């Protein structure tokens, strides 16, 4: 016959195994959840950077805006963006000396975010950062009307 003490020890070992399995399963799910949220945040930054270049190019094409105004609007959209990494290039070179000259002679504008912008993860105790690639958008010049671009 099995003593009561031996029987309690067997149940204790079994319950420890079950507790470990539950903790491991929920811990794994927690890690997957945090990883998925972090991936979503990084993809949000990449999409916003792409949209910021599109906004900058559209403002450059439609509005009588200078490069500083374009950079300000882009950094308002993506706060981690450094204005020094944004370039606004008109073709042919030198055609954007004034709004009238730009309307008559510029053929296209390219707005680019240079690579090297760091996206830091928000996972505690895991210092990890990703480098954002370069983004650029080129649009051909259209008739400009600065009255509607405040």
Q: How far apart are CA 11 and CA 52, in angstroms?
A: 61
Domains of the chain: total: 1
- pTM, to two decimals: 0.74
Please give the residue range of the domain that contains residue 92: 4-148
Select the more confidently predicted residue: 126 or 51.
Answer: 51
Whether the pLDDT of residue 145 is over 60: the answer is no
What is the spatial distance between Cα 79 and Cα 119, in angstroms, rounded to a whole number?
Answer: 11
Q: Is the pLDDT of residue 35 over 80?
A: yes
Q: Is the pLDDT of residue 81 over 80?
A: yes
Alpha carbon of 10 to those of 5, 31, 114: distances in Å? Answer: 9, 32, 64
Which of 6-10, 57-61, 62-66 tops mean pLDDT?
57-61
């Amino acid at each position: 016959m099995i003593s009561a003490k031996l029987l309690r020890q067997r149940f204790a070992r079994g319950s420890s195994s079950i507790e470990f399995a539950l903790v491991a399963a929920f811990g794994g799910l927690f890690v997957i959840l945090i990883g998925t949220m972090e991936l979503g945040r990084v993809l949000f930054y990449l999409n916003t950077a792409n949209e910021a270049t599109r906004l900058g190019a559209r403002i450059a094409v439609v509005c009588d805006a200078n490069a500083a105004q374009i950079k300000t609007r882009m950094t308002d959209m993506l706060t981690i963006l450094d204005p020094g990494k944004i370039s606004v290039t008109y073709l042919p070179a030198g055609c954007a000396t004034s709004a009238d000259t730009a309307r008559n002679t510029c053929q296209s504008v390219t707005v680019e975010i240079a690579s090297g912008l760091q996206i830091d993860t928000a996972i505690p105790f895991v210092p990890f950062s990703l480098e954002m690639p370069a983004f650029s958008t080129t649009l051909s010049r259209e008739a400009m009307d600065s009255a509607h671009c405040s």
